Amino acid sequence: MFIIIKHGDNQEFLVNSNCTIQILLHYVRTKTGLRKTDIIDLCDESGTLKLFFLSKTPGDYACKFLTARNTYYVCKVERGAPGKGRILIMKLVLKIRQISLAFSWFLDSLRTQCEFLERSRIKLLRALEAKRLAALEASKSSMRLQARRAKSRTKQSKGGRPEDNRGRRGYYKSRTHFQNT
């Protein structure tokens, strides 16, 4: 259950993938010299990201997602400034002085996946914003309805219908009762 991790200037090391994602990523950070706060991910030789940084269950075992004896590259996830269009950027932690043609398709694949992730994130944010606005409108309308009910109650207590509840048939027992009020 070992995998090969490539990083730096043609550096590589073996990792036992029979551990949790959290422990695996922590070990990779320490071996590559990255900070604990750096967000990283792994991608295979075809450029497919494993999206470990988006995992909701970092306690899952990495061997479920990684194939034994395969080679994986370390990618660093960097988020841009909030005002800029591109929030998510993946950088290979490979110090390649000149990107050869063999790596250009690899980087294009990473770029495409990042763009897809960013579009998905923006759609999710828009949906959450729409839900928040709908909930806000619903609360405003319920507050208006409560205010109207309170106004109508004050009008009723000042004059109008009697306040005792006599059922749905009406407020008055008979025609004489109606004429007396």
- What is residue 68's predicted lDDT score, i.e. its pLDDT? 92
Amino acid at 175: R
Query: Tokens 């967000």 sit at which residue?
Result: 39
Give the separation between CA 35 and CA 32, rounded to whole angstroms: 9
Q: Is the pLDDT of residue 84 over 90?
A: no
Average pLDDT over residues 75-91: 61
Max Cα-Cα span within the chain: 102
Q: Hey, what amino acid is at 151? A: K
In the structure encoding, which two tokens stand for residue 134, read together? 């709908």
- At residue 88, does pLDDT exceed 60? no
pLDDT confidence bin for 156, thresholds 50/70/90: low
pLDDT digits (tens, 9 = 90+) for 48-80: 888 888 888 889 999 999 999 999 988 887 766
28 or 146, greater pLDDT = 28
Kindly state the percentage of the chain with pLDDT values over 70. Answer: 69
Residue 116: pLDDT above 60? yes
Angle at 166 between CA 164 and CA 172, to 5 degrees: 90
Query: Do the beta carbons of residue 114 and residue 90 sit within 8 Å?
Result: yes
What b/e string do you get for 99-134 counting C-beta neighbours within 10 Å, with b at 16 or more? Answer: eeeeeeebeeebeebbeebbeeeeeeeeeeeeeeee
